Amino acid sequence: MTVSTDYTAQEIIVVAGAKVLENNKIVFVGTGLPMVATLLAIHTHAPGLIPVFEAGAVGPPLKHGLPTSVGDSKTFTGASYLKGLNSAFELTQRGFADFGFIGGAEVDMYGNLNSTMMGDYPEGYLKPKVRLPGSGGASDMAASCDRTILIVPHDKKKFNEKLSYMTSPGHLDGSPDARYKAGMQGKGPYRLITTKGIFDFEEKTKRMRLISIFPGETVESIQAATGFELLIADNVTQFAAPTAEEVRMIREEVDPLGIFVKRAAK
Amino acid sequence: MEKDAKMFWTGLSPDEAREALVNKDKSMRDKRMTLKEAVSEFVNAGDNVGIGGFVNVRQPIAIIHEIIRKGFKDLILSFHSAGMAPELLAGAMMVRPDHCSIKRIELAYWGHEGFGLSQAWRYLAERGMIEFEDWSNYNMSARFKAGAMGLPFIPTRGPLGGDICNTSRTKVIDCPFTGRPIGLLPASNPNVGLIHVQAADMYGNCIIRGTDATCAEIAMASAHTIVTCEQLVSHELLVTNPKDIMIPFPAVDAVVKVPFGAYPGACRRHYYFNSDHILEFLGLIAPICKGGSSDALKAWYDEFIFGVESFEDYIDKFQTKKLFADQAAESYNCERLA
């Protein structure tokens, strides 16, 4: 297959995100790139993937294209079940969601995410340096989906030992059974996809571990862009560059308007 | 558990909410009125306002325009995820602080998803101009649900583990049945709920298409509810299938027919987003956050809100071709025969 020569950082995230999704599973899809990756997965290897959106739609075929919102009309048409936010989160809390797929602005080594604020916390909570949109449904997905897939653009300023604010709990402090002891359900972060590679969370320590490297990166370059020490899997793989066909699908079929996957400046 | 000095109610306490409903005229009467009348009667300074819809889907935009035209003081906004509704209120506060002020926001998300971040949220928060309390989407919908259930709190897992527990009124207790931690969230009983729906009758029975969002819970929890609707139909037609009724008439105090009442947001079966207009508006706020002039934003409010008498006049400013195109886009999402 022809390898793409002009894919963007967002496009490789979308391709990697799609590949992590498993056919015939229920995935609770957050807004943004998770929606794009979900649609690409449905168009490629996972036609039986069942997306759930927090505004209420369960299992829509998404035949009318990429939703602009998780409450978009495109998520309602053909859905197998459609009520409101309470029902979507209740079924997640009950255990119906195999995966939650969410993004964040800042992540720590245990896969805890921040999408609330940057700055001094708690003193600066009500007057933050940078105010982010807020949890939305991300913290609910983090607390109650069986496993979560995270997307965070890789940047030393965003991969920190200590988060400004923990919006969506991951493996907390990494201690044994930390999630269970906090009252949560689900196994927590399963994969993290960044602009540089794919990570899992090592079973014992729950620490972020590099498992696959995107083209052009090395273990060293990725570590250098991370504000804490990464674990490195024994058998780190090289992630194949997106194919020309995958990139064509993203640009022409999945997100032709560039709603979430921004076009590279010419 | 001991009483906590940090606990407080915004809007109505559970006892006050119960009392308000007991004392309310719940008769099945004609509740049609103008938006001006509805807002003037039911939206007061200091009110906790529950905002329906989800992000830019079926938000009560026409009601928000009327609230801005009238002016508002010290409002508390309660919503899970919202876009243009708080953006318009905040923009009004930025250009007319004498006339418009938000005191506090209880929310999960304020932004526009595919249309970008909320610059007004950043502006107000980063300057310390308002109080706010972060929750998750489920937290807020569950808080409204507790209010609608007539209960003072509701248990959820949503806030556990993270900092939302620490910056909100959440209480984490050991579950009396399992012994494991569980989060308790205080009910939300707003003074007034603002809801836009696809169809209503003159008594306030409502049918909602697409996502229910948390509109029924907000209407049932609030002391008063203003409903705008795309279609005002006969009671007989509306109750053809009683299970279609999402909000029952006693929960509603004002019914106003406002076609395009969620515009430039989307409304299932009626119109899709006018993304140009949303982006144009957001583009006027962004430069102010970087210290630029607010003249262009002021001019927008003067043209589209303060300079017109009604929401109909606002809709009249759009090209018919554009309105048709947004209707056609929704017909594509939701194809229907005739």
Closest by Cβ to B141, choosing from A76, A85, A138: A85
H or E element at residue A36 = helix A33-43
pLDDT over 80 at A175, yes or no: yes
Q: Which domain holds residue A215?
A: 9-254
**Chain A residues whose beta carbon lies within 8 Å of the beta carbon of residue B57:** 55, 69, 71-73
For residues B273 and B153, give the distance between their C-alpha atoms in angstroms, rounded to a whole number.
Answer: 36
Q: Would the CB atoms of A86 and B108 count as touching at under 8 Å?
A: no
Closest by Cβ to A169, choosing from B161, B217, B266: B161
Q: Which residue has the tokens 């079973």?
A: A203
Residues 6+ apart with CB under 8 A from B240: none
* CA A53, chain centre distance (Å): 14
Summarised one tens digit per residue, pLDDT across range B246-301 is: 999 999 999 999 999 999 999 999 999 999 999 999 999 999 999 999 999 999 99
Looking at residue A263, what is its pLDDT?
77
pLDDT over 90 at A1, yes or no: no
Q: Which residue has the tokens 């969601």?
A: A97
**Chain B residues whose beta carbon lies within 8 Å of the beta carbon of residue A118:** none
Top residue of A140, A177, A254, A259 to mutate, by most chain B CBs within 10 Å, is A140
pLDDT over 70 at B230, yes or no: yes
Residue A266 maps to a domain: no
For residues B231 and B258, give the distance between their C-alpha atoms in angstroms, rounded to a whole number.
Answer: 8
* CA A33, chain centre distance (Å): 8
Summarised one tens digit per residue, pLDDT across range B29-75 is: 999 999 999 999 999 999 999 999 999 999 999 999 999 999 999 99
Summarised one tens digit per residue, pLDDT across range B121-150 is: 999 999 999 999 999 999 999 999 999 999
Q: How far is CA A163 from CA A109, A181, B186, in A?
A: 10, 21, 27
SS3 track for chain B: CCCCCCCCCCECCHHHHHHHHHCCCCCCCCCECCHHHHHHHHCCCCCEEEECCEECECCCHHHHHHHHHHCEEEEEEECCEECHHHHHHHHHHHHCCCCEEEEEEEECEEECHHHCECHHHHHHHHCCCCEEEECCHHHHHHHHHHHHHCCCEEEECCCCCCCHHHHCCCEEEECCCCCCEEEEEECCECCEEEEEEEEECCCCCEECCCCCECHHHHHHHCCEEEEEEEEECCHHHHCCCHHHEEECHHHCCEEEECCCCCCCCEECCCECCCHHHHHHHHHHHHHHHCCCCCHHHHHHHHHHHHCCCCHHHHHCCCCHHHHHHHHHHHHHHCCCCC
Q: Would the CB atoms of B161 and A165 count as touching at under 8 Å?
A: no
Closest by Cβ to A165, choosing from B111, B128, B163: B163
Q: Would the CB atoms of A182 and B161 count as touching at under 8 Å?
A: yes
Three-state secondary structure call for residue A211: strand
- Joined together, the tokens standing for residue A80 give 């197998």
Q: Which residue of B has its CA nearest to A172?
A: B161
**Chain B residues whose beta carbon lies within 8 Å of the beta carbon of residue A131:** 121-122, 125-126
Q: Would the CB atoms of B162 and A166 count as touching at under 8 Å?
A: yes
Residue A148 maps to a domain: yes
pLDDT over 50 at A132, yes or no: yes
Q: Residue A11 is which amino acid?
A: E
Residue A225 maps to a domain: yes
Contact B193, B224 (CB under 8 A): yes
Looking at residue B6, what is its pLDDT?
77
Q: Which residue of B has its CA nearest to A103?
A: B113
| Other CB atoms within 10 A of residue B235 CB | 13
Residues 6+ apart with CB under 8 A from A142: A100, A102, A113, A148, A168, A169, A170, A188, B161, B162
The domain segmentation of chain B, as residue ranges, is 14-152+188-333, 154-186
Summarised one tens digit per residue, pLDDT across range A216-244 is: 999 999 999 999 999 999 999 999 999 99
Superfamily designation of domain B14-152+188-333: Glutaconate Coenzyme A-transferase (3.40.1080.10)
Contact A99, A28 (CB under 8 A): yes
Residue A262 maps to a domain: no
Identify the CATH number of the domain in which residue A110 sits. 3.40.1080.10
H or E element at residue A43 = helix A33-43
**Whole-complex ipTM:** 0.97
Q: Which residue of A has its CA nearest to B289?
A: A130
Contact A52, A223 (CB under 8 A): no
pLDDT over 80 at B2, yes or no: no
Looking at residue B338, what is its pLDDT?
76
Share of chain A above pLDDT 90, in %: 98
Contact B214, B144 (CB under 8 A): yes
Q: Would the CB atoms of B162 and A142 count as touching at under 8 Å?
A: yes
Beta-sheet strand order (sheet of A50-52):
A81-82, A57-58, A50-52, A26-29, A99-103, A147-151, A188-193, A197-201, A208-213, A231-238
Q: Would the CB atoms of A69 and B121 count as touching at under 8 Å?
A: no
Closest by Cβ to A133, choosing from B111, B138, B210: B111
Q: Would the CB atoms of A135 and B109 count as touching at under 8 Å?
A: yes
Looking at residue B135, what is its pLDDT?
98
Closest CA to B139 of B172, B108, B180, B181: B108
Interval A87-100 mean pLDDT: 97
Residue A1 maps to a domain: no
Residues of A annotated as catalytic are: 54
Count CB pairs under 8 A between chains A and B: 208
**Chain A residues whose beta carbon lies within 8 Å of the beta carbon of residue B214:** 84-86
Summarised one tens digit per residue, pLDDT across range B73-118 is: 999 999 999 999 999 999 999 999 999 999 999 999 999 999 999 9
The nearest CA of chain B is from the CA of A214 a distance in Å of 26
**Chain A residues whose beta carbon lies within 8 Å of the beta carbon of residue B117:** 132-133
Burial class (CB in 10 A: 0-12, 13-18, 19+), B323: middle
Q: Would the CB atoms of B125 and A125 count as touching at under 8 Å?
A: no
Looking at residue A264, what is its pLDDT?
67
Q: Would the CB atoms of B137 and A184 count as touching at under 8 Å?
A: no
Looking at residue A78, what is its pLDDT?
97
Contact B243, B170 (CB under 8 A): no
Q: Which residues pair with A191 in a beta bridge?
A: A149
Summarised one tens digit per residue, pLDDT across range B171-186 is: 999 999 999 999 999 9
Residue A259 maps to a domain: no
Question: Residue B337 — very low, low, confident or very high, per pLDDT cuts 50/70/90?
Answer: confident
Looking at residue A266, what is its pLDDT?
47
- Total domains in the fold of chain A: 1
Looking at residue B5, what is its pLDDT?
58
